[in-house]
Amino acid sequence: MPDEKETKTKGAPKEKDAGAKAPKKGEKGPPADKKPVEKRDENFRYIVRLINTDIDGNKSIVIGITGVKGLGMRSAEIIARMAGIPRKTKIGELSEQKTDELEKLINDYSEKVPHWMVNRQSDWSTGADMHLVGVDVDLNRRDDVNLMKMIRCYKGIRHEQGQKVRGQRTRSNGRTGMTMGVIRKKEEPGKPAEGAEKKE
């Protein structure tokens, strides 16, 4: 027969720490440690204008530059390094003079990097290596598509038809227009449905 002490310890619930009480339903627990509010400089800009693009001033310099169309992480890091700005600096903390310097570096980017780092190598009309940013990206893309349509090359014809251009399969994906389905014949009233056997 088991001892009385063993039976008491088995059935009794475990004691909780007296100091740490769980909050009851509807009550709020102890307040969490609040992060100290960062003090902003008076000259902090919450929106920075760069290459006709509005950039959030709270973003770091590298992430902020990538907001400009045509610039990715690698090119943004190179531009920040050329400007001599630490990559964790917030773009809103920069003075207007520094942002003007950044804009000039972005415009002269293709001249200061190797040809394989630009986004438009050997342009068909000029033969130069260029790096397009902002509105120029969309304008040049539209011009290229219009040229392909005009000379009636395969890619141009596919663009006109709205089909896939780069050799993808079109059997299951990229379907446009009316949906195809099975059309059932309407049953005439009084006639039994096809396949239904007459019961004798």
> 144-187 pLDDT, tens per residue?
999 999 999 999 999 999 999 999 999 989 887 777 677 777 77
What CATH number should be reported for the domain holding residue 97?
Answer: 1.10.8.50
Residue 199 in this model has a pLDDT that exceeds 60: no
- 109 with 138, same domain? no
Q: Is 152 part of any domain?
A: yes
Query: Do 99 and 154 fall within a single domain?
Result: no
The answer to whether the beta carbons of residues 68 and 133 sit under 8 Å apart is yes
pLDDT at site 11: 55
Q: Does 82 fall in a domain? A: yes
Burial class (CB within 10 angstroms; exposed 0-12, middle 13-18, buried 19+) of 102: buried
Measured CA to CA, the distance from residue 118 to residue 50 in angstroms comes to 19
pLDDT value at residue 177:
74
Answer whether residue 112 is part of any domain: yes
Is residue 108 domain-shared with residue 158, that is, in the same domain?
no
pTM over 0.85: no
Are 143 and 113 part of one and the same domain?
no
pLDDT (0 to 100) of residue 142: 96
**Region for residue 84 given its phi and psi (left: phi exceeds 0; alpha: psi -120 to 50; beta: otherwise):** left
Question: What is the rounded average pLDDT of the residues 48-75?
Answer: 94
Query: What is the number of other CB atoms lying within 10 angstroms of the CB of residue 94?
Result: 23
Residue 40 lies in a domain: no
Q: Which domain holds residue 139?
A: 134-168
Q: Identify whether residues 59 and 110 lie together within a single domain.
A: yes
Contacts of 145 (CB under 8 A, 6+ apart): 156, 159
